[in-house]
Amino acid sequence: MAYIQIKDASYAYPGGFLAVDDINIEIEKGENVAIVGQNGAGKTTTVKMLNALQRPTKGEVLIGEMNTKDHTTAQVSRVVGYVFQNPDDQIFHATVIGEVEFGPKTLGLSDEQIKKQVDYALKITGMAKFRDENPYNLPLSVRKFVTIAAIIAMDTEVMIFDEPTAGQDLEGNRRLGQILKTLRERGKTLITISHDMEFVCENFDRVIVMADKKVVASGTPRDIFWNFDVLEKARLKQPYVSRLCRALGLDGELLYMDEAVQAIREKCLG
Amino acid sequence: MDTVIEFKNVTYSYPLTDVPAIKDMSFAIERGKFYGVIGENGAGKTTLCALIRGFAPSFYQGTLQGQVLVEGKPTTDFGPGELSLKIGYVFQNPFNQISGVKDTLFEEVAFGLENFGVPVDEIERRVTEVMKLTDIWQLAEKNPFELSGGQQQRVALASIIVLKPDILVIDEPTSQLDPEGTEKVFKIIEMLKAEKKTIILVEHKVDLIAEYADEVMVLRNGKLIRFGDKQEVLSDMSLLDEGVQLPQMAILGNKLRQAGVPLDTIPVTEAQADEVIGRAMQKGRA
């Protein structure tokens, strides 16, 4: 049985607006999964159901042994950490260190353990140098890393990142990739929403595609980005490299830069 | 050359800082062209926009050395509100732009035109047209604060293009949009360019800059480190070491050359890559 199970779950906002319509998702412990799809497809609502910020209005969500309907959001969020799409919805302390310490301090840990987790989070996100800074003096893209550090410091089993790539530059994207890799090596279960298809191909083993409130596909980046039915449904395009390879008539469902270089080189130089 | 904006040895520092956000910058912007501004976060891109629009130093205060000229006149000599008629400014964070005094999206988008004293029937016509263009017409009755980040970004853009300014300064308008929504914004900008508007766009999605912009400005640590034709700037691989993302097609082209594939040029767009690489493959077959 999968570690995370979303079973026949729907979510309707008070007032009746249906944001997620009867979805099923299974995620194993230690998996690194991306969720893609258009604005309004239901991605954020889905992940908010995982840490009980929202509870399904139909169906259920299980994290290990825990059914979110039987637990408070505070209990679930000890296991599932969620980094908000908009950092300003999350930040409420006047210093970076205050923000990052807040979560672990609620967990009843020893001071020594709190310091260890906080230092680790600041280090891997590159935020240590901004320790005493007011988060609002930092650019939005950097503020996002403050909120990521705040969740990593809680050392939850599952971590969810909602559009961390938005507004990031080259270095920001590289750092995000590195953070995912490091957390993965520590056995964390990671779920990331992103609109950056290149980033998705580079950093994830599995991609879940949502469209119009439903899950329309799940598979490896190669399965997804060469499935034109799915791409059409979700109004997504292939990554640039795949699009070019297709235009050039190259076989092999190519996805990565190095594969494309090799295939083109063979055609040109034999 | 019909210069519309000019920086002459501009150095600018925000209040209470010793480090200038913009350092000794000089360049000229030509009327009717589309400029893509790229560079790492903190390089000075948003400050550059604020200087063009005159928010720096008039609103942000701070110290300005050198001159920022709009149509030959220093921004500091324009009266309050005067520059807003010439330059439309779309904020990076749409939340900073929404007026907070209007209950519906329709009224929000109409807010600027009302202030300009445009007749009511013309306001209705223009607002309707722009809201349809930016895909927010179906939200017309909603409260501006009930929208998602992506929707707010579209509102911010709509509220400015409805004013039909000659110059548009647009700061990362697509950061929260999905790929289709992003492409749509670029199509709208392309349409504005066809109307001879001058466009200055800050954007991280460099593949789209490669496809749509005319010229590219690259900022780093407050300095303008490259400025010129997009083909020339975006095929310069040394920029990767300066924290600047380059188009996928340029990176691929460079790797192909390194692998011994003879390409006449380093492509920066898909169409160009298809052509240049296609040609090399044909030669290979011959």
Q: What is the pLDDT of residues B145-200, one digit of tens each?
A: 888 778 888 899 999 999 999 999 999 999 889 999 999 999 999 999 999 999 99
Write the CB contacts of A96 (distance below 8 Å, at least 6 apart in sequence).
A122, A127, A130, A131, A132, A133, A134, A135, A138, A146, A149
Q: What is the pTM of this model?
A: 0.93
SS3 content of chain A, % helix, strand, coil (to 5): 45, 20, 35
| pLDDT band for position A190 (cuts 50, 70, 90) | very high
Q: Are strands B87-90 and B167-171 parallel, antiparallel or unpaired?
A: parallel
Cα(A25)–Cα(A210) distance, integer angstroms: 11
Chain B positions touching A240 (Cβ under 8 A) are 207, 247-249, 270
Whether residue A258 sits in one domain with residue A128? no
Is the backbone of residue A217 left (phi > 0), alpha (psi -120 to 50) or beta?
beta
What would the pLDDT profile of A95-130 be if each residue is shown by its tens digit? 999 999 999 999 989 999 999 999 999 999 999 999
Residues A161/A192, Cβ–Cβ less than 8 Å: yes
Question: Per the structure, how many domains does chain A have?
Answer: 2
For the stretch A33-72, pLDDT in tens is 999 999 889 999 999 999 999 999 999 999 999 999 999 9
Q: Considering only alpha carbons, which residue of chain B is nearest residue A259?
A: B252
Q: Compare all CA atoms of chain A with the CA of B247 and give the residue at the minimum distance.
A: A240
Q: Which of A169, A256, A259 to mutate to test the interface with B (most CBs of B within 10 A)?
A: A169
| Phi, psi dihedrals of residue B58, rounded to the nearest 5° | -60, -45
pLDDT at residue number A183:
97
A219 and A266 together in one domain: no
- Going by C-alpha positions, the residue among B43, B63, B36 that lies closest to residue B208 is B36
Query: Which of A43, A207, A261, A266 to probe the B interface (max B CBs under 10 A)?
Result: A261
Average pLDDT rounded to a whole number, residues A2-30: 95
Q: What is the pLDDT along chain B (286 residues), one digit of tens a residue?
A: 899 999 999 999 998 888 899 999 999 999 999 999 999 988 999 999 999 999 989 888 999 999 999 999 999 999 878 998 899 999 887 877 788 888 999 999 999 999 889 999 999 999 999 999 998 999 999 988 888 778 888 899 999 999 999 999 999 999 889 999 999 999 999 999 999 999 999 999 999 999 999 999 999 999 999 999 999 999 999 999 999 999 999 999 999 999 999 999 999 999 999 999 999 999 877 6
Cα-based distances in Å from A74 to A23, A71, A121: 24, 8, 21
> Any idea which residue has 């570690």 for tokens?
A3
- Selection from A165, A158, A123 nearest residue A144 by Cα: A165
Sheet hosting strand A206-211, strand order edge to edge: A80-83, A158-162, A189-193, A32-36, A206-211, A214-219
Burial category of B70 from C-beta neighbours within 10 Å (exposed 0-12, middle 13-18, buried 19 and up): buried
Comparing CB atoms, the residue among B148, B177, B243 nearest residue A171 is: B243
Strand partners, A10: A58
CA distance B119 to chain A (A): 35
- The answer to whether residues A251 and A183 belong to one domain is no
- Nearest CB to B178; choose among A38, A167, A171: A38
Residue spans in chain B of domains classed CATH 3.40.50.300: 3-246
β-strands B215-220, B198-202: how paired? unpaired
Instruction: Report CB contact under 8 Å: B245, A235.
Output: no
Residues A102 and A147 in one domain: yes
Q: What is the DSSP letter of B223?
A: E
Q: Which CATH superfamily is domain B3-246 in?
A: P-loop containing nucleotide triphosphate hydrolases (3.40.50.300)
* Option in A197, A267, A270 nearest B179 (CB): A197
pLDDT at residue number B20:
94
Cβ-Cβ pairs closer than 8 A, A with B, add up to 117
Neighbours of A219 (CB within 10 A): 16
Token pair of A27, please? 């995620």
Which of B38, B95, B248 best probes binding to A when mutated, by most A CB atoms within 10 angstroms? Answer: B248
- Digit-coded pLDDT (tens) for A209-250: 999 999 999 999 999 999 999 999 999 999 999 999 999 999
What pLDDT shows up at residue A155?
Answer: 97
User: Do residues B144 and B102 lie in contact, with contact meaning Cβ atoms separated by under 8 Å?
Assistant: yes
Q: CB–CB of B176 and A166 under 8 A?
A: yes
Q: How far apart are the C-alpha atoms of A137 and A147, rounded to whole Å?
A: 14
Distance (Å, whole) CA B102 – CA B88 = 20
Which of B149, B182, B261 is nearest residue A265 as measured by Cβ atoms? B261
CATH number assigned to the domain comprising residue A133: 3.40.50.300
Cα Rg, chain A, nearest whole Å: 20
A152 plus A243 within the same structural domain: no
User: Cβ contacts (< 8 Å) between A88 and chain B: which residues?
Assistant: 95
What is the rounded distance in angstroms from the CA atom of residue B265 to the CA atom of residue A197? 26
pLDDT of residue B119: 95
Question: Residue A139: which domain range?
Answer: 4-237
Mean pLDDT (chain A, rounded):
95
| Minimum CA–CA partner of A163 in chain B | B176
List the single best residue of A35, A39, A140 to mutate versus B (max B Cβ within 10 A). Answer: A39
Give me the residue from B179, B245, B277 closest to A237, CB to CB: B179
Tell whether A155 and A251 lie within a shared domain.
no
For residues B279 and B264, the answer to whether their CB atoms sit within 8 Å is yes
- Percentage of chain A surpassing pLDDT 70? 100
Judged by CB atoms closer than 8 Å, whether chains meet at B40 and A170 is answered as: yes
> Is there a single domain that holds both residue A143 and residue A263?
no
Q: Do B176 and A239 touch (CB under 8 A)?
A: no
Mark yes or no for CB contact A265/B256 under 8 Å.
Answer: yes
* CA distances (Å), origin A254, targets A217, A244, A260: 19, 10, 6
Phi-psi region at B91: left, alpha or beta (left = phi > 0; alpha = psi -120 to 50): beta
Pair (A131, A214) in one structural domain: yes
Contacts of A86 in chain B (CB under 8 A): 149
Specify whether the CB–CB gap between B225 and B243 falls below 8 A. no
Same domain (yes/no): A159, A58: yes
Distance CA(B140)–CA(A3), nearest Å, equals: 43
Report the residue from B172, B175, B244 with minimal CB separation from A170.
B244
